[in-house]
A and B are shown apart, each in its own frame.
Chain A
Amino acid sequence: MTPMSRLSDVHPPATVDPAGVPATVDPAGVPATVDPASVRAAVDAVPDPELPPVTIGMLGMVHHLDVAGGKVLVELLPTFSGCPATDMIERDVVQAAGSVVGVTQVVVRFRYDPPWTPERITAEGRERLREFGIAPPGGALVSAGVSTEGRSVLPLAVVDHDDPRPCPYCGSIDTQRDAPFGPTPCRDLRFCAACQQPFEAFKN
């Protein structure tokens, strides 16, 4: 589908004027021109509320960003549909984009197509996750890709047995998954036999 598919309208558009942001005008009274790169940088830098060292840019959640005059449209891909942090992320994106000079309105929409996949996490994001004690998803997903009809395809087997995550503390791959459900919808629980530490892993 095109970036402006109807699916982009599924989530509530947050047509919220950034709170506390004064109309930005230069001394001559002319509205400032919005620099799209500045908006992108501000949005990319919004931290994940549940994983503060990692930003939504590093997680690959920013699908599309459009700047028209002072109006900004941000399309985000939720990692898991049940992520309770989406409302906070939406609010933080409105605030971050709204703080860029010249921005008068920010609309945030969540969409499900294309689906978010762990491959979207950047190298820096993976390293930050590891530092935070969460094993990032490793390697390519065996069956993920695009079907012959052009639809998105996600892996449907839970492949942890073939996916021993390196321990985020000692790096050993002598680890096992203890439980498929963890503290958030996007994480599971693992144990490192080498350093005897439990740790969490970001789900594939």
Chain B
Amino acid sequence: MSASVDVDLPDLASPRTQVLLALADDALISGHRSSHWTGVAPSLEEDLAFSTIAQDGINHADVWFQVLLGPPAGADTGDDLRAKVDALGLGREPHEYRHAVLCERPPRDFAFTLARHWTYEHFEALRLEALTDSSEPDVAAVAVKLRHEARYHLEHADHWLSRLSAGGSDDAAHQRFGEALAAAIPEALGLFESVDGEVEAIADGLLPIGHATLRPAWTAVIGPALREAGYGELVPDPDAAVPSVAAGGRHGRHSPDFTDDVWPEMTALYRAHPGARW
């Protein structure tokens, strides 16, 4: 942890914390990347869409951080809790973040943004669905709420798959989106890496279905959709490995897209003005 703000945080190495950090960090970093379209999206509707998706992602991270922190101590004020949430969201070193590398990739062009969005939202929908069975009531209740909101993201992502693929394989949009999917899908396999302590979190019931087990369920959803859209050759093999450049995010190994780009920008104000309130 950065030593800039003195707050008392739970043990970041515990299985429970590692799982909740993976949930929060995926949402936080995806949210930051989505926000890059605010003001510059190809249409007003997409500007609103990605701005809302960004806002949802960052707030979903906020909620998971609050769950992670648990009930406030008797003497804690609202400001104390905000300070702890900020310390978790903005006060960690890059290697302490547990999101998949896919989430930190820059938006590139709108095709890649939509391809990453589509692979990620289908993963997140399945993970939230699994979490509604969590043995921890707070986790289950939050999953119900967030899943309800994320269905708009999923509808938006599916809409673009069908729209961009509608022209068939001779169409420029189909080809360009296919190239974007070919870049995003292999890296999306990194979403299914396990965090440290995941075995304990599964045994405990906190995480009812592990990340690795979600992968065949995800393939069963995206496979038929890809084939129907004319991208059958992009359906990942069950034993396909995560490309090394996109592996290790759940263990804190991140690419320069995070360590030299998202992280410094995201934490700049927090590091420059420790304890700032906004």
Distance A109 CA – B81 CA, assembled complex (angstroms) = 12
For B56, the closest partner residue in chain A by CB is: A82
In the assembled complex, the CB of B236 is this many whole angstroms from the nearest CB of chain A, namely 25
On whether the beta carbons of B77 and A15 are closer than 8 Å, the reply is yes
Is the C-beta of B227 less than 8 angstroms from some C-beta in chain A? no
Is the C-beta of B130 less than 8 angstroms from some C-beta in chain A? no
**With A13-B78, A180-B152 as contacts: A185 and B141 at CB distance below 8 Å:** no
Is the C-beta of A153 less than 8 angstroms from some C-beta in chain B? yes
User: Which residue of B66, B72, B141, B155 has the most chain A CB atoms within 10 A of its CB atom?
Assistant: B141
Of the listed stretches B6-14, B47-55, B177-185, name the one at the interface; the rest are far from the partner chain.
Answer: B47-55
Distance A13 CA – B45 CA, assembled complex (angstroms) = 36
CB interface residues, B 69-83, toward A, < 8 Å = 70-72, 76-82
CB interface residues, A 177-199, toward B, < 8 Å = 178-183, 185, 189
For B159, the closest partner residue in chain A by CB is: A180
Q: How big is chain B's contact interface, by range? A: 35 or more
Encoded as 1 (CB less than 8 Å from any A CB) or 0, chain B from 24 to 65 comes to 000000000000000000000100110111011011100100
**With A10-B63, A185-B55, A185-B149 as contacts: A1 and B72 at CB distance below 8 Å:** no
On whether the beta carbons of B82 and A12 are closer than 8 Å, the reply is yes
On whether the beta carbons of B60 and A82 are closer than 8 Å, the reply is yes
For A154, the closest partner residue in chain B by CB is: B148
Could you list some 8 contacts between A and B, CB below 8 A?
A: A9-B71, A10-B142, A13-B72, A81-B142, A115-B148, A158-B152, A181-B48, A203-B152
Q: How big is chain A's contact interface, by range? A: 35 or more
Distance A155 CA – B147 CA, assembled complex (angstroms) = 10
On whether the beta carbons of A5 and B137 are closer than 8 Å, the reply is yes
On whether the beta carbons of B77 and A6 are closer than 8 Å, the reply is no
In the assembled complex, the CB of A167 is this many whole angstroms from the nearest CB of chain B, namely 20
**With A81-B145, A151-B132 as contacts: A13 and B77 at CB distance below 8 Å:** yes
Q: Collect the chain A residues with CB atoms within 8 Å of residue B59's CB.
A: 81-83
Is the C-beta of B95 less than 8 angstroms from some C-beta in chain A? no
